[in-house]
Every structure is written in structure tokens, then in C-alpha cells.
Amino acid sequence: MKAVIKKDYGPYELEYTEIPKPVVGENDVLIKVKAAAICGSDLGLYYDTVEGKTVDYPIVIGHEFAGEICETGKNVTRWKKGDRVVSDNTGYVCGECYACGSGEYLFCSHRKGMGNDMDGGFAEYVKIPGQVLQAFPNCLYRIPDNAEFEDAAMMDPCCNGYKAVIQEGGLLPGQNVVVFGAGALGLFSMIAAKNGGAGRIIAVGMSEDEKVRFPLAKKLGATDVVVADKENAIERCRQIAGEEGVALIIDCAGAPIVLKQAIDIVRNGGKIVKIGYSKNPVDFSLDAMALKGVSLIGHMGYDSTSWKNCLRLLEKGEVDMKALISHRMPLSQWKEGIELVKNKEATKVILLPEEE
């Protein structure tokens, strides 16, 4: 089968090549991949900016994918050939640690993510191991009948945004929200805020977002946009929010300056959920956060609640997934897709293994 693999550590060690089709064991499920999506973290694999050397390469990359079950092991009873499914990209959990015992499988210290630690979905076929299907049955979900594969392939960032805004941020109807960053995670956070009944949804980005991302943000739920390199983001957000203030800030940018601005903007007793990453250290005092009684919440992924609720929203047509797709291309053009994302010329790029 054709697949995109990371051959070894180092930049540009990705290749579109022929590899053996996965062999299905008695407890495994084999999926024919119908659509896969490029995530910003896939750029880290291509340019080798991911820290740590714990992966035994080569592996097939790609952790956002959906498809149809084409083969099951003889012991598999929950799934059948023809089922339309999407994976939460968990390929292994121990099933025994505190995290697994409490249902927080994403926090399992032994977890292996498909497309990062083991074979993923940038391929014609992908195998879901029987071990993880038994230890964590909710690693695989059925796609609603009225949803397309390309919609389901983007459920990972959709669930991330939902968890950040609703589950971690605890958004209440009418509350004002600021989202820093207008990439895919920022846009999905805005969708979650809209579905959660937010009052003002303020998208904060840069002038480079004015052409594509800000108009899309307005379409998906943002009531206002702030161009941080052209205006004072702190003053503008406060002005828009008015006396009610900003109850929740979602930081999808990650830079220390954004955290500083968020602390200044958020109202007393408000919440900041940090999704974005930065290697740069915070070089300012956090006393203001303490004095204002602000909660800073570190965000990581999603859980079964995120997935089940987001799939319901997808089924009801409450999430406009199509609006986020800027490009569709054959899997063989993966490199072009990576470059589009890197240059911020794309929101979500869908790779189609069947269009070869």
C-alpha cells in the first residue's frame, strides 16, 4: 500500500512510498482510510522540531483520519466490515495506571499515539490494534450517517476546541470569550463558544490573518476581530467586552506575551485555558494572575465526553466542518499540503488516499 512515512530522526525524513499492508490479528480492526487531515503538529515531524527521541522509526504519520472498516479479526464483535469510523488516534494504553483507571486514557504515561509514536493514517490502510480496542473501547467511534469522511477526519481539533471551551473553560451562556490565534484550533474554539451560547466572541490574531482567517472566524462565530500588531489588543478587548468583562480566554498562540495580555484582559475570577505551546520562558511576574483570582488551565487533547458530544453536534449540523477545508488533494501531494499549512495559506488540508 502507499503511505507517507517518517524514516528516521532529522528534518525532511518523510517519504511517500510503498509499504506492506498491515496484517490483521484475531483482535484487530483494519480501516480503509477515506480521508486524512494535516495537523500543525505534522509539520513538527517534517521539520523535526519535536523534542525527545523515543520513537522507533520508520512509522506512518498522520493522526487525523477516518475511513471504513474493511477487515476484522475473528474475535472482534463490536465492529463489522462496512462500519464508517473515526479514530481518536490512540494506538496503545496500558489499561492499568491511574489515568486509565479514571478514564483519562490520553494521560496514560505509556500511551502511544497513532501517527506520532506508531503507524497512523496517512496511508491507504491503518490497523487499530486489538489491545487498545479492549483496554480503551472508546478509541474508535462510528461516524454519523449524514456526515462525510472528510468531516470526521477533523474531529480531533474539533474535540480539542470543545474540551477547552466547554469542559475546561466552563463557559456559561452569555459570557464573553477571547480566542488568541485564528488557526484550526482557534477556529474550532470559536465554534465551541458559539454553540455554548457565548456573548461576544473576540478573535485576536495578526495582520496576516486578515485575508483568510478573520473572515472565516466571523463566519464560524466570532463577533469581533482584533489585529494585535495594528491595535492595542488589551484595550480593544476590554472595550468590546464592556462592563461584563471577559470571562474566558483560550490561548491557542502560546507565546509568553499572549499569556501576559490574557492576564491583563481577563476579568477578576476568570479563566485562561492554554492550548498553544512555546519554548520561550515566561519572563514576567504572575502576581497579577493571583491577585485577580484567575485560573490558568493547561489543556491537553480531549476525552470520551468531548468525542461523543462533538459527534452529536456534527450529526445535528451544528459544526460547519466544510468551512474549514481550504484544500483537498491526493495523498501523494502531502508535501504540498505541508507547505500550505506552514505558510498559513491553508486552514485544513484534506488528503485523499483513493485519489491516486
The 10s digit of each residue's pLDDT in 121-161 is 999 999 999 999 999 999 999 999 999 999 999 999 999 99
Whether 284 shows a pLDDT value over 70: the answer reads yes
Give the angle 24-25-29 at the CA atoms, nearest 5°. 55
Torsion of CA 320, 326, 331, 333, to 10 degrees: -170
Cell 482557534 identifies what position? 186
Question: Which part of the chain has CATH 3.40.50.720?
Answer: 159-298
Put the strands of the sheet holding 2-6 in their side by side order: 14-18, 2-6, 59-60
Mean pLDDT of 101-105: 93
The 10s digit of each residue's pLDDT in 238-274 is 999 999 999 999 999 999 999 999 999 999 999 999 9
Residues 6+ apart with CB under 8 A from 266: 178, 245, 246, 247, 248, 249, 272, 292, 294
Q: Where are the alpha helices (DSSP H) in the chain?
A: 40-47, 98-101, 130-135, 149-152, 155-162, 184-195, 213-220, 233-241, 256-265, 287-291, 304-315, 334-342
The amino acid present at 288, given as its one-letter code, is A
pLDDT for res 356? 53
pLDDT for res 354? 78
Question: Coil, strand, or helix at residue 212?
Answer: coil
Number of CB atoms found within 10 A of residue 286's CB = 13
Question: Which part of the chain has CATH 3.90.180.10?
Answer: 2-142+325-352
Is residue 355 very low, low, confident or very high in pLDDT (cuts 50, 70, 90)? low
DSSP assignment letter at 78 = S
Mean pLDDT of 11-25: 96
Cα 143–chain centre separation:
17
Grid coordinates standing for 195?
454553540
Superfamily of domain 159-298 in CATH is: NAD(P)-binding Rossmann-like Domain (3.40.50.720)
**Are 297 and 168 a contacting pair, CB within 8 Å?**
yes
Whether 51 shows a pLDDT value over 90: the answer reads no
Comparing CA positions, the residue from 193, 146, 143 lying closest to residue 173 is 193
The 10s digit of each residue's pLDDT in 305-351 is 999 999 999 999 999 999 999 999 999 999 999 999 998 889 999 99
Is residue 184 very low, low, confident or very high in pLDDT (cuts 50, 70, 90)? very high
Torsion of CA 11, 253, 141, 115, to 10 degrees: 10
Q: How far apart are CA 355 and CA 242, in angstroms?
A: 51
Q: How far apart are CA 245 and CA 271, in angstroms?
A: 12
DSSP secondary structure of 296-328? EEE-----HHHHHHHHHHHHTT-S-GGGGEEEE
Residues 6+ apart with CB under 8 A from 75: 26, 27, 130
Number of CB atoms found within 10 A of residue 69's CB = 20
pLDDT for res 54? 77
Rounded to whole angstroms, what are the CA distances from 97 to 100, 107, 108, 137, 306? 5, 10, 7, 16, 22
Whether 105 shows a pLDDT value over 70: the answer reads yes
The 10s digit of each residue's pLDDT in 28-40 is 999 999 999 999 9
Specify which residues 90 forms β-bridges with.
113
Q: How far apart are CA 220 and CA 320, in angstroms?
A: 7
**Are 106 and 303 a contacting pair, CB within 8 Å?**
yes
pLDDT for res 52? 63
Give the angle 61-42-60 at the CA atoms, nearest 5°. 5
One of 3.10.129.10, 3.10.180.10, 3.90.180.10, 3.30.70.20 is the CATH number of 2-142+325-352, namely 3.90.180.10
